Structure 1
Amino acid sequence: MATATSTGLQNIYYERKTGTSRPCFICNRPTTTVLATIKTEDFLYTCDSHLTDTASPISSPTPIPALTPTSGPSAEDLKKVISEYQSREARKLDKDKVKKDEKDTDKDKEKENENDKINSSTSIPSTQSIPTSTVQPPIPAPTHKKYALHRHIFEMRKNELKRKEQGNKAKEVSRGLPQVPRTGF
């Protein structure tokens, strides 16, 4: 688990549900409701009855309406691309037809009939409906409720995180120090 710096901790917590129950921060009853920061730097379990005792709900701003793209391919651009594609396919089929004609002069009439059938089946009809604009689905609103811890509880959480961070630093420093001798003189 990454350590969090106490100065970078913001007082915005999200209510989440967990799969395992742990004791409430206030009354020690088992609960599955947890208040956690966005990056899960800090979290505390609190039962639903003490949720408003430890934190105040933050009203979320109104959701942004779905944005429609204004810069997209126009109908004229799509028609141009389709016509270019049809002309390339027609040229490819013509080249294939010429190659086959050179190889097989005896079966020329049969191949022309087959190529005409292929041309009619692979051509793209020009009466296709072309969508003029694509509509994106609306942006979903956040599913978790936002809370701000009360001032005293937030200070307790910051102090606890600072204490844990100092303990981790002390362990790292103690690894570099020499060991105490265990044998007698």
Structure 2
Amino acid sequence: MSTTLPNVWHLRRVAETAAKACLICHKPSSSVMITPNNKDFFYVCPIHLQDRHFCSPIIDAEEEAAKKKAEVMAREIEKVKQEYEEKQKRKKEKAKVKKDKDESKEDSKDSKDSKDSKDEAAKGDADKKDEKERDEKIEAIKKAQGMGTPAADDSPRIFALHKNFYQMRIDRMRNMEAAKRNRQRLQDPSYFPSVPSGGL
């Protein structure tokens, strides 16, 4: 078993019922730091992760790209919504101008009522069509980006330990390996010297 241990630690959460003592302050913690190869892990309080003398975050290129993608998607969706609102404003203004023109003309009351009801029905259909078009655009943007909702937790997930803490973890692994080798040697009967044979 090799003692090589990468100084890359992923933050994982466990259930509160599985919380164990923090490496630093020994209070129960449900946050676990674990190496990518699962060789070593330890429990730590989330507050210690902000201490630059304990560890520092590693910026994950994929995670950063995903965040940027989510921001771009949010901007595009906002743009589509603004276009929809502007379209609705223009339609309302046109309808108002048209209504004013209709009122200026002295038409009979019956013909005016029938026109208003037709206009309102056409307007309702157009609004539904515009809403559907807006929703389709938003869905298309989400599909194009290949993303659902962005992650709510923006805290760093990958860390590198400070050199002293990293050395402690390496020493611990070396000691564990040495203890394991000693146990194996003790179980091997050829490890002990044989009883001398021969008479006195």
Give the structure with the larger strand fraction. Answer: 1
TM-score (norm 1): 0.50
Instruction: Considering fraction of residues, name the structure with more helix.
Output: 2
